[in-house]
Chains A and B, each alone.
Chain A
Amino acid sequence: MAGRRALKAVLIDLSGTLHIEDTAVPGAQDALNRLRQASVAVKFVTNTTKESKQNLLERLQHLNFNLHEKEIFTSLSAARSLLEQKQLRPLLLVEDSALEDFNGIDTLEPNSVVVGLAPDHFNYQTLNRAFRLILDGAPLIAIHKARYYKQKDGLALGPGPFVTGLEYATDCKATVVGKPEKSFFTQALTDVGCSPSEAVMIGDDARDDVGGAQNAGMLGILVKTGKYREGDENKINPPPHLTCDSFPDAVEHILQNLL
C-alpha cells in the first residue's frame, strides 16, 4: 500500500464476523489460523456487552477458534476503566452474565448510569430509575450505541436506541466507550504498541466497525455476514477499504495485499 506502513495488527470483531450466535462463519477458524502464521498481532475487539471476557473466550473456544483471553478487548473493559478513573458508583444496566467484568466496583447508592445491552433491564421501571438519576446529575456512560444486532430469529434493538432516548429525556450527552469511538480503537492497540495506520479492522457493522476504525486512522474491511444489509458499504464516507463476502475472504486479502 502506497503511503502506508507495513501492517502490524489486525483487529477482528466477534459476533457477526467470526460467528453468528452458536455457529461459526464457514472457514473462519482456518482463516484465523492462517492469519496467525503471518507476522501480525491479532486482537479481538467487541461491543458484545452481554458477556464477560471469560464467557466470550469459552464460546469461541467451543467453536474451535484459537485465541487467548488477553487478546480480547471489549467495551466492558473500557467502561470499567472509566468508572475506576472517575471513581463512580454505577447503576449497571448490563446483563447478569456481564457483571463479572465489574467485580469489585461499588454499586451502592449509584451516582452514574452504565447502559449496555440488557434486554432484561430495558423495561419501563428500570429506565425510569436510570432517567431520574441522570436528571439529578449522574453521568450517563454508554458501553456502545449500536442500533441493532442480529439474533437467530431476526434483528433486535441494541443499546443505542435506549441511550439516545435517555439523552433526549435528560438533555445530556452520553460518554460512549465502545466502538465506534476513536479512543476504543486506540486503547485496543495500546499493548500491541503500533499506530492506527499500521492496523486493519474487520467487522460486519459498517458504521461501528469499519467507519469507526477508519476514523481512528486504520483500514476497515466490511464483511457481508451477521448484521450486514445490502448497501451498508454506501452508508459511510470514506467507503470501506474493502467489502467482501466473509471473514476468510478478508484474511485472504490481507495476506496477499497488506503484508
Chain B
Amino acid sequence: MADTGWPGCAKSLKGVILDLCGVLYDSGEGDGVAITGSIEAVKKLKASDLQLRFCTNETQATRDKFVAKLQRLGFDICVSEVFPPAPAAIAVLKERRLRPHLLVHDGLLPEFDSVDKTNPNCVIIGDAAEHFSYQNLNEAFRVLIGLEKPVLFSLGQGRYYKETDGLKLDVGVYMKALEYACDLKAEVIGKPSTTFFQSVLNDMGLQPHEALMIGDDLLNDVGGAQHCGMKGVQVRTGKYRPSDEMHPTVTADGTVDNLAQAVDMILNQRGQ
C-alpha cells in the first residue's frame, strides 16, 4: 500500500518544488546568505531522479537578476527552472488587455519594459520594500479609486519575510491596505494561487500527488500546495515561527529543521 504520510510519501514522488527565500537563503544586504546545508541539498536533489523546480514570490528583481544572485551564492540553478509571479502577471495583462500602473521594486521594472503602461486601467503591486512610501501607495490608490471597475493584482500575498536584520512586511500587507481603502478584492498572482502552482506542475508534466512543495511560509507555500493537491513540508528556517506548528487551519505534512534535513529524509526513503 502506498505510504501517503511524510516522509513515506517520498518513495512515490516524481518532483520537488522548492521555495527560494527562507529555504535556500536569507535575503538581506548584498546577496544575502545561503542557509547552511542548502547548497549541498540542491545538488543532491539535482543528482537524484526527481524533477526539481523553484517556485517563488520573489518580486524585488527580474528573474535573470535573482537567479544570477543565487548562482553567486553557490546554488546550481538556472532561469528556466524558476517560476516567479511577474512573467505570469504579464501573461494575464496580455490576455485581458490591461495596462498597469506599477507599484513594484525598481529592480523588477525591466520585466515590464515591453508592457504598455499609458493611461493605466489596473494596478499591480509587488514587494516594493522601501518604495512602499505613503506617496507611492497614494498614487496607486488614486489610480484605483478613479477607475470605474478597479482591478488590483498582487504579486503574492505574503505577510512578512525574514531578512538578515529582522522580519519585514511583505506585499500582502499593502495589498490588504489597498483592498480596504478601495473596498475591493485583489487578484493574487503567485503563491498560494492554485493556477500558479498548476503552471509549475504542467512544466514538469506531473500530477499534484506526484509532487512535494518545501517552503518556510506555512500559508503560502504549504497551505497553497496542499490546496492544489500536493504535499507540503515546512522548514524551520526563514520566517518560520514555532506558532506555525499549532496553526488552526493549516497543518504541514511534515516539519523539518532545514532543507538539508528534508532532502536527506526524501533520498533515504528512496534508497538513494
Contact = CB atoms under 8 A, between A and B. Distances in A.
A11 interface: no
Main secondary structure of the interface of A (DSSP, over half): helix
Nearest to B183: A147
Interface in B163-204: 166-170, 172-174, 176-183
Interface string A160-197: 11101111111100000000000000000000000000
Interface in A132-183: 132, 135, 147-148, 154-158, 160-162, 164-171
B160 A169 contact: yes
Contacts of B80: none
Give the size range of A's interface with the partner.
Answer: 20 to 34
B159 A168 contact: yes
A128 B169 contact: yes
Contact of B130 (A124, A148, A160): A124
> Which of B130, B131, B134, B142 has the most chain A CB atoms inside 10 A of its CB?
B134
Contacts of A122: 133-134, 137
Q: Which 3 A-B pairs rank lowest in CB-CB distance, beginning with the nearest? A: A161-B177, A165-B173, A165-B177
Interface residues of B, number: 29
Nearest to B170: A169
Nearest to B128: A124
A127 interface: yes
Contacts of B133: 122-124
A125 B169 CA distance: 9
B97 to A, nearest CB: 27
A157 B134 CA distance: 8
B132 interface: yes
A135 B170 CA distance: 14
A131 B172 CA distance: 13
B183 A128 contact: no
B261 to A, nearest CB: 26
A154 B139 CA distance: 11
A126 B182 CA distance: 23
A229 B34 CA distance: 52
Given A123-B134, A124-B130, A132 B167 contact: yes
